[in-house]
Structure 1
Amino acid sequence: MRKRVIINWLVAIVFSILIGMVTSVLMGGSLNVPFRQFLWSAGYSLSLGLPLFANGYLFGWFEKRYIDWVNRPGTSVVRALLMHLLYSSFVIWTVNWFWFIHVMDREWASFWEYNRGTIIAEYIIFIIVASIIYAISFFKAWRNEVRQKEEVKRESLALKYKVLQDQINPHFLFNSLNVLGSLIDIDVEKAKQFTRELSKFYRDVLQFKDLDIISLKEEIDFVTKYIYLQQIRFGEALQVDIIANEKVEGKVIPLSVQALVENAIKHNEISKANPLKIVVAISDNYELVVENNLQPKTQVEDSSKTGLKNMAGRYEYLTGKEMIVSKNGGYFRVSVPLIRIEEGS
């Protein structure tokens, strides 16, 4: 990288000198130009050429901090133009002042009359160069945005497929049917209720699988159905406390909170002696938190371990914030940044 930068600077120096020498010949109308005139033209051209070349590096630094072509194109254009105008004006006036006053030893009173055409031409050249830099920068940002969206689409499809696969996998269906079979012999009315809730659960899975985001209320309602089915199976050994305010103006990725609750059930021992306690809540930082006490199973069902990673990538793309996964003090916690209405619309 450093070698490449040095080569680029050397090329800029050579081109600047050549342009100055060619300009000297064209203005003189002959190759018989005094050597001093060659040096003067080469030095003047170098004084303008190097700052012009450096403008690319300066704009790269400025772009990372203050430019967002995708989300704030109008503001970015204004900021870029102001930066370029200030930088160009400083370079053009400083260089011309130095060569005219100090090198040529002329009077300041005749500065504008003598240099007017040159300064106007230099502004035009700087504007053309800036336009090229901005165009390249914009299309790079646009290309990266397209690539990122395609990557998120692929991750979204992978997550949707995995969540759907998890919900309709033989283990879940087998356990649900076993519970239903037991309830039929014990409590017919409860068996009917269980059947209705199981039907609603799968209906929601099919309804949500084609959506990108849903309201927090819809997700909480869906999670409640899932918890009901699981509590019929585990009884008091599974304790879930949902204290998230459904009126909070936020959205989530479909089935994501349910997947976090399922993840806790899947990876932890659940018994009357050691009940699994899960809390779903909203933090002060506008995050939805799913937390459970840690009591890992000795044998865990096979997992691709990509669900949390894909989910984290989608939430970061949609909110600009990270999904935080942590283990602390015997608890496992996942903090999900809620998608604000304006962000998801």
Structure 2
Amino acid sequence: MNTKLNKSDFIVLAIYFMVSFFLQGKDYYDRGAMLKEYLLDFPSELIAICSIIFLFTFWLIPKFVKEKKYFLFGVFGLLILIVITAFQYTVGFWSGDNDWKNYPRGLDFVLKMIDRGTFQTAFPFALFLTKKFYEGQSEYLKIEKQQKENELKLLRSQIDPHFLFNNLNTLDSLIDSDTEKAKEYINRLSLIYRYLIKTKDAEVMELSEEIQLAENYIFLIKTRFEDDYDFKIDIQTSIEDKFIPTGAIQILLENVVKHNKPQKGNTIKSIISIEENTLKVINTKSNLKSKNESFGTGLENLKSRYKLLSDKDVIIINTDKEFNISIPIIKLINES
């Protein structure tokens, strides 16, 4: 709950007291109340109610409820209610020229102050607390949203540091052996980096653009490893108005290469299958065990991003012969 006063707090209470005093003023007028009742009762009631609300909101609740000292909260709460209500009741009793013989005493006084105090402050207190609660919720959601955006940007920034190094090595060998292919390699690499720069702050990207990135990235892999890896893209549905986390396909392709080393000329075959609601990457596995037995930081990164972007999970099926990963396709436009 937001424990700072703002302009709107005073506006809400001012509106409440204006309506309340108008209704009470009519009642005073109908019964022919004296002028001093008008001049003393309303200000004393305003002071009493505001004092109770502010003491509970900005002192009692933060000090005792947050620390789970509920007994002390109850004791001090009743004392505040009794003392402040007694002040307001006494002013009203005197301004109405009542007989002091009828002034309540002892236990009757205590019970009357508790009853009167809770009755007078219940609605304005509830109104004030409800307002502060929803302000706090709104602020919390804003902070949570900003935190998610920051987490996504951090996750997006975690690109494999060896990516550029490996590609420069490949390019170095191509320049002497195949100049034309080296030019094409440079072009594809520049397209990938242009895409990464363009989308550096984007949480999700259109599936069609991610597929173009995948085609360029596959070219780099095929050029570097030749026939060790084989990739096919199978589009089974329309890809319009569909999105996935930025760079998701690149992470999935990196995972195939990182965890599978071909043996005895056996090509690692991968299919990128795009269905209505899911993008799947299914690849055969080599018998050669990878040094890193985990799913890798890339996939963990992708799973973390999905937790922030969607209520659907990344599904991984890992068998002896095949690795199958499914990521949900995100639709940002509601279907009519």
Partner of 1:57: none
SS of the equivalent of 2:157 reads helix
- Paired residue for 1:329? 319
Q: Which amino acid aligns with 2:272?
A: V
Superposition pairs for residues 39-50 of structure 1, below 5 Å? 39-42=110-113, 44-45=115-116, 49=118
Cα pair distance change 1:211/1:37, threshold 3 Å: closer
Report SS of the residue matched to 1:340.
coil
1:237 aligns with 2:302: no
Matches within 5 A, 1:259-274: 259-271=251-263, 273-274=265-266
Q: TM-score, normalised by structure 2?
A: 0.60
Q: Is the 8 A contact 2:241 2:333 kept in 1?
A: no
State the 1:176 CA deviation.
4.3
Does 2:167 align with 1:172? yes
Q: Which residue of 1 aligns with 2:14?
A: none
Once the two structures are superposed, residues 44-94 of structure 1 have per-residue CA deviations (whole angstroms, 9 ceiling, x without a partner) of: 358xx4xxxxxxxxxxxxxxxxxxxxxxxxxxxxxxxxxxxxxxxxxxxxx
**Cα distance, 1:145 vs structure 2:** 3.3
CA deviation map 1:2-29 (0-9, x unaligned): 9434544444444445556556545544
The correspondence for 2:332, drawn from 332, 336, 341, is 341
Over 3 Å counting, the alpha-carbon distance change for 1:173 and 1:300 in structure 2 is farther
**Offset at residue 173 of structure 1 (A):** 2.4
* Offset at residue 42 of structure 1 (A): 4.4
Q: Which structure's CA Rg is the greater one?
A: 2
* Equivalent residue runs for 1:99-118 within 5 Å: none
Cα distance in 1 for partners of 2:124, 2:300 equals 45
Q: Which runs of 5+ in 1 are unaligned?
A: 50-117
Counterparts in 2 of 1:301-340, with a 5 A limit?
Answer: 307-319=298-310, 321-324=311-314, 326-330=316-320, 331-340=322-331
C-alpha distance in 1, partners of 2:329/2:72? 48
Task: Give the Cα–Cα distance (whole angstroms) in 2 for the partners of residues 276 and 157 of structure 1.
Answer: 32
* Structure 2 CA distance for aligned equivalents of residues 3 and 210 of structure 1: 43
The secondary structure found in structure 1 opposite 2:159 is helix
Instruction: List gaps (5 residues or longer) in structure 2.
Output: 1-65, 95-99
Instruction: Quote the Cα distance in structure 2 between the aligned partners of 1:208 and 1:310.
Output: 17
More relative contact order, 1 or 2 (CA 8 Å, 6+ apart): 2
- The aligned counterpart of 1:33 is 104
Structure whose residues are more often helix by fraction: 1
SS in 1 for 2:272: strand
Q: 1:130/1:336 Cα in 2 relative to 1: closer, same or farther (>3 Å)? A: farther
Give the structure 2 partner of residue 145 of structure 1. 141
Deviations 1:264-289 (A, max 9, x none): 211222345543233333456x2433
Partners in 1 of 2:289 and 2:175 — Cα distance? 25
Give the equivalent residue in structure 2 for 1:81.
none
Cα offset, 1:165, TM superposition: 4.1
Distance 2:71 2:174 in 1: 72
